[in-house]
């Protein structure tokens, strides 16, 4: 069965350079690359000062660029017909629409942070599936950021990419995607604590198992209302509980919240944060029974308390476990997107076939599968 191909990094870099030269009639000065991500545990916890445990994917975005002196920014993509063009001095909130906002937003944010960019031609190319909940937008931002400022501190770049996403692209997201795209190391998951801003590399020993991601191909949008309204509910819960963030709330006090919806939202966040620590421990000892139970609870919490799952995500999770996965849950922002499963190597084919067959039976779009080999964070060359 076919997996979505991440492509060969050397070939991808050469291709983006060649396409750049063809598009702009001049060689690129540098190429940045940054990965998509899949999160193992901790959903909608980042903007609540909580914990997350993402892994970088082998699927990446490449960004080729050269500085110019004409004060203009041009953004082109090998995946899109249209090119965005405007004056760098005019960049700012509400200045750019659509996918180009993620790239143009980084140019704006880096300039805001004091990086000198008088003008810039950009061309991007990506193997990260778009709208699949696998952070294609952060991969784009971070590829542009490392291309333009390869020597800058990675946290400064993460901050610029987060500003691009929240202030220019208008997606009120939390920061997990940019951190892992910039800081991940091969073979490791990245434990991020959004209260202390600490990051810890967590070695992932998946011997005999495959990290299988299934894109349900129900496209998710973080700029429509669902994500923002969850975030607003969490802030309301923290306000009512008189804590700075839900990281500081206990399950007991959450259960006292009067509004039923706000209570369920807060319950998801508080229980999900505790599942991240538990998952780190269970993964460290390859306790697949415990990992499976944590994934099961996390999915149920997102389905019932946070209400961000879909019939396709629910079906993919149930069927994966029935067909032999030791653990499965939806991953990412929700309202579509992907599931992540840990599958014994000799059951992977069976799991993919079973999910595909169920999707046919249910009349869903055919899903796409990819292997999430824990990969490296961004680099430039
Ligand atoms: C999206 C956002 C992240 C995070 C996840 C949910 O991927 O970009 O910041 O909130 O959703 O965990």
Query: Which atom from ligand 1 is nearest to the alpha carbon of 175?
Result: 9
Query: Which atom from ligand 1 is nearest to the alpha carbon of 137?
Result: 8
Contact 339, 323 (CB under 8 A): no
What is the per-residue pLDDT across 300-352, written as a single tens digit (0 to 9) for each? 999 999 999 999 999 999 999 999 999 999 999 999 999 999 999 999 999 99
Q: What is the largest CA-CA distance in the chain?
A: 64
258 CA → ligand 1 middle, Å: 27
What is the per-residue pLDDT across 22-40, written as a single tens digit (0 to 9) for each? 999 999 999 999 999 999 9
33 CA → ligand 1 middle, Å: 21
Contact 123, 18 (CB under 8 A): no
Rounded mean pLDDT, 286-290: 98
Q: Report, in angstroms and rounded to the nearest whole number, the Rg of the chain calculated over CA atoms.
A: 20
Residue-level pLDDT at 86:
97
Q: Cα separation of 31 and 17, whole Å?
A: 8
Domain ranges in the chain are 2-36+58-184, 209-371
Q: Which residues line ligand 1 (CB under 6 A)?
A: 39, 43-44, 46-47, 135, 173-177, 222, 332-333
Residue-level pLDDT at 1:
67
The encoded tokens of residue 297 equal 């609870």
Residue-level pLDDT at 297:
98
Rounded mean pLDDT, 77-99: 93
Phi–psi pair at 217, nearest 5 degrees: 60, 20
Q: Cα separation of 175 and 177, whole Å?
A: 6
Strand arrangement of the beta sheet that strand 198-203 belongs to? 51-52, 188-193, 198-203
Rounded mean pLDDT, 344-363: 98
Is pLDDT above 90 for 182? yes
Count the residues in the chain: 381
To test the pocket of ligand 1, the residue of 134, 174, 194, 232 to mutate (highest count of ligand atoms within 8 Å of its CB) is: 174
Q: Cα separation of 35 and 33, whole Å?
A: 7
**Measuring from atom 2 of ligand 1, which residue has the nearest CA?**
173
**Measuring from atom 11 of ligand 1, which residue has the nearest CA?**
333
Model-wide pTM > 0.85: yes
Which residues are part of the catalytic machinery?
Answer: 177
Inter-CA distances, 326 with 1, 29, 174, 301, 342, Å: 20, 46, 29, 18, 6
Helix 225-241 / helix 260-284 crossing angle, nearest 10 deg: 100
23 CA → ligand 1 middle, Å: 33
What is the per-residue pLDDT across 116-149, written as a single tens digit (0 to 9) for each? 999 999 999 999 999 999 999 999 999 999 999 9
Is pLDDT above 90 for 221? no
Mean pLDDT of the chain: 97
132 CA → ligand 1 middle, Å: 12
Distance from the Cα of residue 356 to its chain's centroid: 24
Q: Using pLDDT thresholds of 50, 70 and 90, give the confidence band for residue 225.
A: confident
Into which CATH architecture does domain 209-371 fall? 2-Layer Sandwich (3.30)
The residues near 365 (Cβ < 8 Å, ≥ 6 apart) are: 216, 217, 218, 312, 359
The encoded tokens of residue 301 equal 């919490």
Q: Cα separation of 6 and 3, whole Å?
A: 9
Fold of 2-36+58-184: Ribosomal Protein S5; domain 2 (3.30.230)
For residue 202, the surrounding DSSP H or E stretch is strand 198-203
Query: Which atom from ligand 1 is nearest to the alpha carbon of 333?
Result: 11
Residue-level pLDDT at 223:
64
To test the pocket of ligand 1, the residue of 46, 138, 299 to mutate (highest count of ligand atoms within 8 Å of its CB) is: 46
Is pLDDT above 80 for 240? yes
Rounded mean pLDDT, 216-243: 91
Rounded mean pLDDT, 50-70: 98
């Amino acid at each position: 069965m076919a997996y979505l191909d991440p492509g060969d990094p050397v070939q991808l870099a050469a291709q983006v350079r060649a396409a750049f030269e063809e598009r702009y009639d001049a060689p690129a000065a540098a190429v940045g690359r940054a990965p998509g991500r899949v999160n193992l545990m901790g959903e909608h916890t980042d903007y609540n000062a909580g914990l997350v445990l993402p892994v970088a994917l082998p699927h990446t975005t490449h960004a080729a660029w050269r500085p110019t002196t004409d004060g203009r920014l041009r953004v082109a993509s090998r995946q899109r017909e249209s090119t965005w063009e405007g004056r760098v001095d005019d960049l700012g909130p509400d200045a750019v629409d659509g996918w180009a906002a993620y790239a143009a937003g980084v140019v704006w944010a880096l300039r805001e942070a004091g990086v000198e960019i008088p003008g810039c031609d950009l061309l991007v190319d990506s193997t990260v599936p778009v709208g699949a909940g696998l952070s294609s937008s952060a991969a784009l931002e971070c590829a542009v950021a490392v291309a333009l400022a390869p020597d800058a501190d990675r946290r400064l770049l993460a901050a610029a990419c987060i500003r691009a996403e929240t202030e220019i692209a208008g997606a009120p997201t939390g920061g997990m995607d940019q951190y892992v795209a910039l800081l991940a190391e091969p073979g490791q998951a990245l434990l991020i604590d959004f209260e202390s801003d600490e990051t810890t590399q967590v070695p992932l020993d998946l011997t005999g198992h495959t990290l299988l991601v299934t894109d349900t191909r129900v496209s998710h949008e973080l700029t429509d209302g669902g994500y923002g309204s969850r975030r607003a509910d969490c802030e309301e819960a923290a306000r009512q509980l008189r804590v700075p963030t839900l990281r500081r709330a206990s399950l007991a006090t959450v259960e006292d919240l009067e509004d039923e919806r706000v209570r369920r939202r807060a319950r998801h966040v508080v229980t999900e944060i505790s599942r991240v620590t538990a998952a780190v421990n269970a993964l460290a000892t390859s306790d697949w029974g415990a990992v499976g139970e944590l994934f099961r609870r996390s999915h149920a919490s997102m389905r019932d308390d946070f209400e961000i799952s879909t019939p396709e995500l629910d079906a993919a999770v149930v069927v994966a476990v029935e067909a032999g996965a030791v653990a499965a849950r939806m991953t990412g922002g929700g309202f579509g997107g992907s599931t992540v499963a840990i599958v014994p190597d000799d059951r992977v084919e069976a799991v993919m076939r079973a999910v595909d067959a169920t999707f046919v039976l249910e009349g869903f779009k055919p899903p796409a599968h990819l292997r999430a080999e824990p990969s490296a964070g961004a680099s430039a060359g």
